[in-house]
Amino acid sequence: MEPVNDSMSFQVAAQVVTLRSVLSDTLRAAIVSGRFAPGQKLVERELCALTGASRTSVREALRQLEAEGLVTLRPHRGPSVAAVTAEDARHLYGVRGVLVGYAARLCAEARPAAALAAIAAATVALEQGAEAQDHRAIVRAGDAFHAAIGEGSGNPVLQQMLVSVHNRLVLLRNLSMALPHRVREGLAAYAAIRDAIAGGRAAEAEALCAAHNDAGAELALRILDQAEAKNTTREKRAG
């Protein structure tokens, strides 16, 4: 009996997995960037036209994003971008506070040169974005700042968890950062975190990151709670 040629079957499977991964990355980026808003219906036909992928591939990618909490799949209603409720946000911010604090502690203990340089550069970019009142630049620099801390932690599992939570909170983060006083407070917090990490003050860096997360959470939750209260009142009046 001739041996089975496993290499070819594996190659085909790998190509399928790669396509699914690329498509998931593309749709994830579209959601995280705000191309699709929370609660927006995702029409498979339009996603196929947008990505050039088949409907089967799009459906597989949507199932992956559902597992990540970014997409909601409802029977007979189709897929839509998941909306983060106030309760969801409380849980997510709670987890994020622990993760970012731990990442900052590890980064301050290790102080890798590349991470320190990236953190410093991101802080400068934040200041420049604030001066120019460029919200998108501020968001990009904030992402780079936290990514550098994650890289500097040296813990790839922690990095992956941070990205997962970040992707679900990103639109709420944009909501809170849109307020001028939040931007000013954020700049001071980032500078303090940068200095603590560069100085190797691990406990201080951890506490500062956790406090910065909590400040953002408090504001975002206040806005979400107010919005949900208004919706409840509107529904009662309509009923």
Give per-residue pLDDT as tens, 204-213. 999 999 999 9
Give per-residue pLDDT as tens, 41-51. 999 999 999 89
pLDDT, mean of residues 119-143: 93
In a domain, 222, yes or no: yes
Domain boundary pick from 31, 53, 81? 81
Range of the domain at 27: 6-81
Domain boundary pick from 81, 111, 142? 81
Q: Are residues 128 and 193 in the same domain?
A: yes
Q: Is pLDDT above 60 for 5?
A: no
Distance CA 108, CA 194 (A): 9
The CATH number of the domain holding residue 33 is 1.10.10.10
Q: How many degrees, rounded to 5, is the angle at CA 26 between CA 183 and CA 99? A: 45
Q: Is pLDDT above 60 for 55?
A: yes
pLDDT score, position 105: 99
pTM, rounded to two decimals: 0.81
Q: Are residues 129 and 146 in the same domain?
A: yes
pLDDT, mean of residues 49-55: 92
The CATH number of the domain holding residue 93 is 1.20.120.530
Q: How many domains does the chain have?
A: 2
Percent of the chain topping pLDDT 90:
62
Q: Are residues 215 and 133 in the same domain?
A: yes
In a domain, 28, yes or no: yes
Q: How many degrees, rounded to 5, is the angle at CA 89 between CA 35 and CA 140? A: 45
Percent of the chain topping pLDDT 70:
85
Q: Is 117 exposed, middle or buried (0-12, 13-18, 19+ CB in 10 A)?
A: exposed
Domain boundary pick from 50, 81, 112? 81
In a domain, 1, yes or no: no
Q: Are residues 51 and 154 in the same domain?
A: no
pLDDT score, position 8: 46
pLDDT score, position 129: 94
Q: Is pLDDT above 50 for 220?
A: yes
Q: Tell me 85's DSSP state.
A: P
pLDDT score, position 224: 87
pLDDT score, position 112: 98
Q: Are residues 212 and 112 in the same domain?
A: yes
More confident residue, 192 or 183: 192
Decide: 96 and 211 in contact? Cβ < 8 Å. Answer: no
Decide: 81 and 70 in contact? Cβ < 8 Å. Answer: yes
Question: Distance between alpha carbon 86 and the CA centroid of its chain, in Å?
Answer: 17
Q: Are residues 101 and 172 in the same domain?
A: yes
Mean pLDDT of the chain: 88
